[in-house]
Amino acid sequence: MPHKEDRRAVVWLDPLHRLTDTERACLDVAGLALMSVATLDDFRATLARADLVVIRLGDSIDLLAEVRQLMRDVPRELPVVCRVDTARMDLAVAAMRHGALTVLGTDEWSITSWRNAVALVPEARETRSFVFVDPASQKLLALARRVAQAEVTTLLTGPTGAGKEVLARVLHDASPRRAGPFVGLNCAAMPESMIEDLLFGHEKGAFTGALREHAGVFEQANGGTLFLDEIAEMPYPLQSKLLRVLQEREVTRLGAQQAVPVDVRFIAATNRDLKAGIAAREFREDLYFRISTFRLRVPALTERPGDIVPLARHLLDQHAPQAGWTLTAAAERLLTDYAWPGNVRELANVMQRALVLASGPVIDAEHLLFEDMNVAFAPVIPAVTDRAMSAPAMAHESEDVIDLDAAVRHSEHRVILAALRAAPNRTEAAKALGISPRTLRYKLAQLKTRGLPVAVS
């Protein structure tokens, strides 16, 4: 059972069911301390002390929308867990789209399931801390805070994984809209057929399968900030509709006759050259000028080396806040010297792998494995061959070089096995390694063909 100081204070809203003693015991063991709410005033007052809000949805997400509206007066962002009938997957999807931390079934009383939900809370409720240590980053932060105070559309540019969404959140948190919602949508991550619906929403019966009305991200972000990432990937026909919404400040749902006024701060981001896209007739010039009232460029990680080690420490604190992890001087040098083609996203993968490899709270150079395994600086462990078994203890340097490829393969094998041992399943192991589950299966098959002891399913 969690210690008292580790428990999460939760506001529990379920107008349809009163908790039984057994259900309360399940929540208690999972680490939830329930706070009773009798009136709306009680709810508002309790929010200030809460870590989490759990609500039961009936036939719509209206209650979620009402709760999020009430939470706008809370100075910090509270995560919301929604409970829905297991037959209403459409409602579960809508709840996630509207910002729910996670969704559980109304009949879900597994201690493990609730513990998993509680485990998400620290990341969701923490006061977001950003790393701006390098002089280039500090200048960008100062400029972003000034831009945040103005009601201007902002275009963020920079390479993939450099932290454009982080800067978008800075713009939101430093703006007068900080108490409103921050809604983000990655235009490259959604099928083209879904983007229009996600942007503008639809009315009931607008198309086959539209059983209920759905508010698009413009309506979801009303009173706050809407962030569209990878805007260069937006289909060309939709760009004119987006331009119209930005100009008119009103949105028309699919199948609707009347427009709905919206009040949002609009931020877009791209890793592509939009002017080249204009020349190639892939991006509208009028939309470009509408979204780029102010441009902020997020530099690549190698352009701000002073951020690398502080970011690494920050990522360690995020993934293992209780362990007190530290970096050795050798590890810090290695991190600073690496080229970081994947930017901050790659750094996050490297630190997660280091947590898997390190057996104690100290991360050394040998625990840092980069995307290209050929730059993995793990100790050289020669392959066990007859020649290696018979080699003298004082091996020549040339013999070490001959066995370098074998050492890298051995290191990869060691990392994969460590990840498999530490993770509950292969999907989580792949996530810790920074690769897809399909890539992990491929690597396991390769290792098996080499005669190494791995199981491939």
Q: Where are the domains of the chain?
A: 4-125, 135-299, 303-449
How big is the CA angle at 135 (ends 186 and 226), to the nearest 5 degrees? 20
CATH architecture assigned to 135-299: 3-Layer(aba) Sandwich (3.40)
Q: What is the pLDDT of residue 330?
A: 92
Instruction: Compute the chain's Rg from CA coordinates.
Output: 25
Label residues 186-223 b or e (16+ Cβ within 10 Å = b). Answer: ebeebeeeebbbbbbbbbeebeeebeebbbbbbbbbbe
Q: What is the pLDDT of residue 388?
A: 35
- Please tell me if the domain spanning 135-299 has the same topology as the one spanning 303-449: no
CATH architecture assigned to 303-449: Orthogonal Bundle (1.10)
Instruction: Please identify which residue in the block is written with the tokens 């190698």.
Output: 302
pTM of the model: 0.58
| Token pair in block for residue 146 | 């000034």
DSSP 254: B
Is the domain 4-125 a CATH 1.10.3720.10 member?
no
Give φ, ψ of 17 to 5 degrees. -150, 135
- Kind and range of the H or E element at 52? strand 52-56
- Tens of pLDDT, residue by residue, the chain (457 residues): 444 445 788 888 888 888 888 888 889 888 888 876 766 666 776 776 778 889 898 888 888 888 877 776 554 567 889 999 888 878 887 887 777 878 899 989 988 889 888 877 644 333 345 688 899 998 999 899 899 998 899 999 999 999 999 999 999 988 988 888 898 888 887 777 788 888 888 888 777 666 677 888 898 889 999 999 999 999 998 999 999 999 999 998 887 788 889 999 999 999 999 999 999 999 999 999 999 999 999 999 999 999 999 999 888 887 776 667 889 999 999 999 999 999 998 999 899 888 888 877 889 988 898 875 444 433 333 333 333 333 333 333 333 333 444 545 556 666 777 778 777 788 888 887 778 777 787 777 766 665 555 554 4
106 closest CA partner among 47, 50, 54, 34: 54
